[in-house]
Each structure stands twice: as structure tokens, then as C-alpha cells.
């Protein structure tokens, strides 16, 4: 039983490793949420049940490893989310206003930049 749990743990860690290298997986599709659910389930299992023949502190460190991977995946997903169109529009508006205040004649060019 403990060998099967160890293999399962390695599989979950490999899937986390592969998620980093799959392009577009951080866009919160089915694969992303499946991996996040596996991270939560693995961390919960290690805290509640644990692996046989391991000290309790090792179970907590393994749970922290899966929590770390979940947080890392979430932070990566948030950093790659495209900005909202309103944010881009307000940035262009601020550039336009700054150009007007500076008295530059090319203020319209500042507003029309993508």
C-alpha cells in the first residue's frame, strides 16, 4: 500500500511539473483545475492520514509541498491573465493627459498607441 501511495505522489508531482511546461494551461482550463484539486486532495490526505512508515512531521512537509505547488500554480495563472481592456484604455488616457500637460503636439499619437 505504501508503494502505491508513493507512486501516486510522484505522479501528482510530475503532473505539476508538466503543467508549468504546457502552454496555455495556466488559463484555468479543466487541466488546471484538475491539478489544483489533486494538490488539495494530496495535501489533505497527508495531513489527515499520512504515509505509513513515515514520521508525522514528514507527512506535514509533504503536505506543504503540495500546498506550495498549488500556490505556485495560482500565482502563475494570475500573472499570465490578460489585462482588462479598461486597464489598457485608462493607461492610454493617462498617457494622453500627461502629453497634454507637457504641452507636446503629439498628444494624439499618445492616445492612439496600442
Nearest of 50, 61, 67 to residue 16 by alpha carbon: 67
Residue-wise pLDDT tens digits, 23-72:
665 566 777 888 889 999 999 999 999 888 889 999 999 999 999 988 98
Short-list 44, 74, 41, 40, CA closest to 59: 44
Residue 108's pLDDT is what? 58
pLDDT of residue 12 exceeding 60, the answer is yes
Cα–Cα distance measured from residue 102 to residue 100, given in angstroms and rounded to the nearest whole number? 5
- Is the per-residue pLDDT at 111 higher than 70? no
pLDDT digits (tens, 9 = 90+) for 62-110: 999 999 988 988 887 777 655 555 666 777 778 777 777 777 656 556 5
CA angle 72, 74, 76 (to 5 degrees): 70
Amino acid at each position: 500500500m505504501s508503494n502505491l501511495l508513493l507512486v501516486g505522489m510522484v505522479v501528482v508531482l510530475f503532473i505539476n511539473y508538466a503543467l508549468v511546461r504546457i502552454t496555455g494551461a495556466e488559463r484555468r482550463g479543466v487541466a488546471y483545475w484538475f491539478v489544483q484539486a489533486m494538490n488539495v486532495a494530496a495535501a489533505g490526505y497527508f495531513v489527515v492520514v499520512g504515509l505509513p512508515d513515515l514520521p508525522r512531521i514528514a507527512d506535514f512537509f509533504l503536505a506543504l509541498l503540495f500546498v506550495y505547488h498549488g500556490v505556485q500554480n495560482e500565482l502563475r495563472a494570475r500573472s499570465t491573465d490578460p489585462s482588462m481592456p479598461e486597464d489598457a484604455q485608462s493607461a492610454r488616457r493617462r498617457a494622453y493627459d500627461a502629453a497634454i500637460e507637457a504641452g507636446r503636439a503629439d498628444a494624439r499619437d499618445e492616445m492612439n498607441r496600442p
